[in-house]
Each structure stands twice: as structure tokens, then as C-alpha cells.
């Protein structure tokens, strides 16, 4: 009898990833400036750490950043679609109000 291995996907330019990988869309807010940033990732903790590091290009000017909102998706395509949708909104505060994250 042959034991089955968890299914792996090969993604161009990366190591194999599990089919059960989750993707996240997030909104972070600068604690010092009136700035928000919307992004997507498969590792939210590592990504927030990156935004608060010296390596981040855009976000390092507005550090420190705090997580205001997060959404989980089963595929990268779904997460990217939602990220684009959120980025298309002119006022991120309005999105956060609608999601119940901040008061009007």
C-alpha cells in the first residue's frame, strides 16, 4: 500500500506550497500619521513586521503601523481581487466604518 502525501502546488519562482494555504487582505494604519495601507499576503505576521522594518520602501516613512482589519481567503486570486476592490475606494476610513472597525 502506498501512503499518500499532502498535495503540493508548485508556484513559479517559489518552493512548494500546501493547497490549504490561506491568504489575507489587510488594512494597516500609521500610528503617527493619517495614513492607511491596504495589502494582501499569505503570512500576515511576517508582513506587518516587514511594514515596520527599515526594508519597507513606502511604509517605513510612516511607522509604526498597526493592523486595523483583516480578511481571510482560500486563494490568492480571491485575496488579490478583494485587495483591488478595497484600493478602489477613495476613503479607507469609510470602509473601516462600514466594517464596524471605527466609529463615524
Q: How do the domains of the chain map onto residue ranges?
A: 20-98
pLDDT per residue rounded down to tens, the chain (104 residues): 444 444 444 444 445 555 579 999 999 999 999 999 999 999 999 999 999 999 999 899 999 999 999 999 999 999 999 999 999 988 898 888 888 876 65
pLDDT of the residue at 19: 59
**3-state SS track over the chain:** CCCCCCCEECCCCCCCEECCCCEEEEEEEECCCCCEEEEEECCHHHHHHHHCCCCCCCHHHHCCEEEEEEEEECCHHHHHHHHHHHHCCCCHHHHHHHCCCCCC
CATH code for the part of the protein at 20-98: 3.40.1440.10
pLDDT of the residue at 2: 45
Phi, then psi, of 62 in degrees rounded to 5:
-115, 15
Amino acid at each position: 500500500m502506498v501512503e499518500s502525501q499532502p498535495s503540493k502546488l508548485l508556484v513559479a519562482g517559489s518552493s512548494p506550497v500546501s493547497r490549504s494555504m490561506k491568504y489575507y487582505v489587510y488594512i494597516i494604519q500609521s500610528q503617527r500619521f493619517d495614513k492607511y495601507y491596504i495589502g494582501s499576503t499569505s503570512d500576515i505576521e511576517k508582513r506587518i513586521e516587514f511594514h515596520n522594518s527599515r526594508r519597507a520602501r513606502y511604509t517605513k516613512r510612516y511607522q509604526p503601523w498597526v493592523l486595523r482589519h483583516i480578511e481571510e481567503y482560500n486563494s490568492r486570486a480571491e485575496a488579490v481581487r478583494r485587495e483591488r476592490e478595497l484600493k478602489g475606494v477613495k476613503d479607507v476610513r469609510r470602509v473601516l466604518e462600514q466594517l464596524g472597525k471605527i466609529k463615524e
